[in-house]
Each structure stands twice: as structure tokens, then as C-alpha cells.
Amino acid sequence: MWKLKFFAIKLKINYPLLVGDRRDDAKKAYPSFGLPHTFVIGRDGNICARHIGFATKEQIEPIVKALL
């Protein structure tokens, strides 16, 4: 988990991140077929966007900003 915290600090990510590894509830709610797999989840809990593979800040940030 410390690697994720370091990653978030390094990239100045200021929104919550979820690691679903070894969490059956997360795997059931947000099924993934590729690693890494990024989901952008709205305040209502619905998936607003998903990205399979490495996602850059430039790819994800506009999606998150549009939801704020």
C-alpha cells in the first residue's frame, strides 16, 4: 500500500484511490480484465469512465474535473 501512497504524492493526486486486489467486494462491483485498470467512479457510486492499461494524469484528470 505504501507504493500507492508514494505514487499519489509524487503525481499530486488529491482524490481517493481504491486498490481492489484481494477485495472480493471491489472485484464484484468493478470487474477488471486488465492490469492496471482505472475506474472513475462518480459520487453516486456508478462507473463514469474506465481505462485499461497505464493511465496518465493527463488522461484521467479532465474526467475527474468534469465530475466535480
19: containing domain:
15-67
To the question of pTM greater than 0.85 for the whole model, the response is no
**CA-CA distance, 10 to 24, in Å (whole number)?**
29
55 sits in which H/E element: none
Residue 5 lies in a domain: no
Grid cell listed for 37: 485498470
Residue 62 predicted with pLDDT over 90: yes
Residue 31 lies in a domain: yes
**CA-CA distance, 22 to 39, in Å (whole number)?**
17
Question: Hunting for cell 505514487 — which residue is that?
Answer: 7
Residue 42 lies in a domain: yes
Structural domains in the chain (count): 1
Residue 40 lies in a domain: yes
More confident residue, 62 or 8: 62
Per-residue pLDDT tens over the stretch 7-47: 888 888 887 777 766 777 777 777 765 677 888 888 888 88
**CA-CA distance, 22 to 62, in Å (whole number)?**
29
Are the C-beta atoms of residues 40 and 17 closer than 8 Å to each other? no
